[in-house]
Amino acid sequence: MKRKTFIVTALAALVALVAGSFVGRVLREPGRVSPVAEMTVFEPATPLPDFRLHDQSNQVFDVGRLRGMWSVLFFGYTHCPDVCPTTLMVLRDVQRIAGGQARHIQYVFVSVDPERDNPATLKRYVSYFHPEFVGVTGSDPELQRLTKALGVYYERGPKHGGDYEVQHSAAIFVIDPEAHLRALFAGPHEAARLAQGLQQLRGD
């Protein structure tokens, strides 16, 4: 139990460090970002590259699926012990707070563990948090086309009896209807603050 607690604590610290490093790197680029509701806003917004993943229904999920509506992206994996389920519960609350505007926002969980997170596994996992959440994954080359564009870090640890952990960034990314990166929340995540940020971005 102590070893598990230590691993979880170390992972949380690493995730915070990576997210903070990314935000710090962006903030040093003059004229690109400004703080709004404790989030990092990208001005101008950054277009995403082409990529090809698959969702929990085994349908293609590409940059076209991000056009026409606002999207909230979070990266993780279904075997994640704490960061991922906690964040998805926060996003569930954000969806509830959004109310009537929720139909114009999609929430996407991107698994960086395609070896274990097949479409069926993703479908069970994301539907537990909300039936409208989207779960996607794909091969490492395709994942990296998206993660590198967003500055997302992930790395799989050594296997122990077939099990392993995945270190990953804990940031939440907001993509606008033109499929451009518009904002980033580095955490810690709070539903009310996220909802306020989304409202400001959307101009509601």
- Partners of 200 in beta bridges: none
What pLDDT, on a 0 to 100 scale, did the predictor assign at position 2?
37
69: domain CATH number? Answer: 3.40.30.10
Question: Tokens in use for 74?
Answer: 């979070």
Q: How far apart are CA 149 and CA 123, in angstroms?
A: 26
The vertex-58 CA angle with 149 and 77, nearest 5°, equals: 55
The vertex-78 CA angle with 134 and 63, nearest 5°, equals: 35
User: Mean per-residue pLDDT for 126-139?
Assistant: 96
Model pLDDT for residues 95-114, shown as the tens digit of each residue? 999 875 666 899 999 999 99
The boundaries of the domain holding residue 129 are 2-202
Question: Do the beta carbons of residue 129 and residue 63 sit within 8 Å?
Answer: no
Q: How far apart are CA 42 and CA 38, in angstroms?
A: 13
Task: Provide the whole-model pTM.
Answer: 0.82
Domains in the chain, number: 1
Question: Tokens in use for 175?
Answer: 């993509």
Model pLDDT for residues 37-95, shown as the tens digit of each residue? 478 999 899 999 999 999 999 999 999 999 999 999 999 999 999 999 999 999 999 99
